Structure 1
Amino acid sequence: MPTTVLVAGFRGSMGQKATAMIKRDPELELAAVYSPHLETTDPAAYELPATTQVFNQLSAMDTRAQVWVDFSTPAGAFENARFALEHGMTPIIGTSGLSDDQVAQLTQLAKEQHQVGLLVPNFGLSAVLLMQFAKQAAQYFPDAEIIEMHHADKKDSPSGTAVNTAKMIAAGRKQAPETVENPVETIPGARGANYDDVPIHAVRLPGYVAHEQVLFGGPGEALTIRQDSFDRESFMHGLNIAIKQVNRLTGFAVGLENVL
């Protein structure tokens, strides 16, 4: 039997790619979609199969979906994930912007519900590898900065990928980075955001999709690691793996590498 999937945020750029991928795969079934801003719940209005349920309210939701894929908004993703866990669905969250406290709450809820779930900062395999390589490099180059570049309509800054990269750099360090005494910003914010002594610079421009580079500096040398996602279709392979492998987890996890 195919795995039944609900896609929240199905009308967005990633949501549309996700629904198309699910419909193409005979091992998956698009059981339902959800968006709180819909005027009609007729699947024909969205060119969806007649068997796909369409919901615009969580309170009205009664679905046979096993997996909840979330590409909604930072404001809605946390409550969506809570709802999924409380109603027997496995959440796979592709929406960034969740706080550490919210992730901790979802981790605890999954434990209480004897459920599993997955928060994925980036479904691109190149991005997953970049984060792994950055963690390794941080052992030898503790001084690092991140530049992340995304499309102009991305709401949150910095990206979830950049924050997760910073976490992995911090975890990989064996010594503290050098600190500048009394740094001066002639324009506030010039040095970017700071996560665990990793400066993060966010770029939002038309024409970009998702790109990240990590710059490491050491005495007399430097290392740059970069990944580029030129099309959102590149994320679908990782999403497909996540849907099919998420039940291998034993709780709530962060990062696609947990199911690779």
Structure 2
Amino acid sequence: MSALRVAVLGAGGRMGAAACRAVDAAPDLELVARVHRGDDLDDVLGAARPDVAVVLTVPDAAPAQVDWCVRHGVHAVVGTTGWDEARLAAVRGALGEEPRTGVLVAPNFALGAVLAMRFAAQAARFYESVEVVELHHPDKVDAPSGTAVRTARLVAEARRAAGVGPSPDATTSGLDGARGADVDGVRVHSVRLRGLVAHEEVLLGAPGEQLTIRHDSFDRESFMPGVLLGVRTVADHPGLAVGLDHLLDLDGPGPGPGRAGA
């Protein structure tokens, strides 16, 4: 079987450079294009003819890049954040014209982060209180992180389904932002600190106890098994998928880290 042809958009960034190295090292993949800021997609991708594009650019650029991929039948694995419902709806609309194309939008490619989100959603219905703290390097342009937003939404959905009310909070006055952002009724707090990479804590509280679910990425290499898993499987899932959990069999044995990171 011929190698899957892969292009990396945002190849000049730290995540993009790591993705290029990971694709280059995979025997079943071929890195056919490194796309940098200002490159014309018609010129670069038109000549490279990739099967899959890994989009690791910036929120302002990514929607148009994903649209280009969909219109040209190129599957897209997207790690750029900033995907609100309006942008996702636009992708769904474009995919309506290209029903055989797959787009995966992943708030986080670290397998541990995906598991932490799942565990938090499972636990949230058993606890009266829940809040999310995300910690990243100070070069990150968005807050809260896409991972934290998705975590909060999954937690809120699980609590609504279980009939759990809002977390108790007697605050009646405070400085603006002191209680963090409100994401579907879940408070999310953002820390930006030099030396960090990507970290998240979900704090769950009940009378007399606290459960903390924490995931830490100390290096961007932690995201590469998820990137490669997305590249290898996105074509098997036409349409739009949000979250790497759609590609993991979390209720069974699953592909395992060997396949994901080979």
Please indicate, yes or no, whether the TM-score normalized by the shorter chain is above 0.5.
yes
Residue 193 of structure 1: aligned partner: 181
Flag the 1:80–1:215 CA change in 2: closer, same or farther, 3 A: same
* Aligned: 1:100 with 2:89: no
- Find 2:40's aligned residue among 42, 51, 57: 57
Partner residue of 1:203 out of 183, 191, 194:
191
SS of equivalent residue, structure 1 residue 118: strand
Question: Contact 2:130 / 2:167 at 8 angstroms: preserved in 1?
Answer: no
**Match for residue 48 of structure 1?**
none
* 5+ residue gaps, structure 2: 249-262
In structure 1, the partner of 2:148 is 162
Structure 1 contact 166–198 (Cα < 8 Å) conserved: yes
Name the structure 1 match of 2:12. Answer: 11
Contact 1:147 1:202 in 2 (8 A): yes
Q: How far has the Cα of 1:217 moved from its partner?
A: 1.4
State whether residues 81 and 146 of structure 2, in contact with CA within 8 Å, keep that contact through their aligned partners in structure 1: yes
Q: Cα offset for 1:142?
A: 4.9
| Amino acid aligned to 2:181 | A
CA contact (8 A) 1:6 1:65 kept: yes
How far off is 1:59 after superposition? Answer: 4.2
Distance 2:111 2:10 in 1: 22
Q: In 2, Cα distance between the equivalents of 1:142 and 1:99?
A: 28
2 CA distance for matches of 1:95 and 1:177?
A: 30
Q: Which residue of 2 aligns with 1:49?
A: none
Task: Classify the secondary structure of the residue corresponding to 2:149.
Answer: helix
- 1:249, 1:258 within 8 Å by CA — same for their partners in 2? no
CA contact (8 A) 2:129 2:205 kept: yes
Match of 1:82 in 2: 67
Instruction: State the aligned residue count.
Output: 241
Q: 1:151 aligns with which of 131, 134, 137?
A: 137
What residue in structure 2 maps to residue 171 of structure 1?
157
CA distance in 2: counterparts of 1:204 and 1:180, whole angstroms: 25
* CA shift for structure 1 position 105: 1.7
Q: Secondary structure of 2:96's partner? A: helix
Q: Is the 8 A contact 1:248 1:259 kept in 2?
A: no
Aligned partners of 2:129 and 2:168 also within 8 Å = no
Aligned letter for 1:7?
V
3-state SS, counterpart of residue 97 of structure 2: helix
Shift in Å at residue 240 of structure 1?
Answer: 0.9
* In 2: Cα distance, 1:142 partner to 1:104 partner: 33
2:216 corresponds in structure 1 to 228
1:33-86 Cα offsets, whole Å, 9 max, x none, are 22233xxxxxxxxxxxxxxxxxx1134341310101011001111111111101
Which amino acid is 1:208 matched to? L
Stretch moving more, 21-30 or 175-184: 175-184
Note the alpha carbon deviations across 1:73-126, whole angstroms, 9 max, x for none: 011111111111011101110011121210122123223311211001111011
CA RMSD, 1 decimal: 1.4
Corresponding residue for residue 54 of structure 2: 69
- 1:123/1:236 contact within 8 Å kept: yes
Residues in 2 aligned to 1:217 and 1:248: alpha-carbon distance in whole angstroms: 40
Aligned-pair CA distance for 1:259 = 1.2
Which among 114, 119, 122 is matched to residue 128 of structure 1? 114
- Give, in angstroms, the shift of residue 178 of structure 1: 3.4
Deviation at 1:222, TM superposition (A): 1.6
Deviates more, 1:84-93 or 1:245-254: 245-254
Equivalent residue letter for 1:58? L
Q: CA deviation at 1:184?
A: 1.3
Partner Cα separation in structure 2 for residue 143 and residue 104 of structure 1: 32
State how 1:211-222 maps to structure 2 within 5 Å: 211-222=199-210
Deviation, structure 1 residue 143: 2.3
With 1-10 and 244-253 compared, the bigger mean Cα shift is at 244-253
TM-score, normalising length from structure 1?
A: 0.89
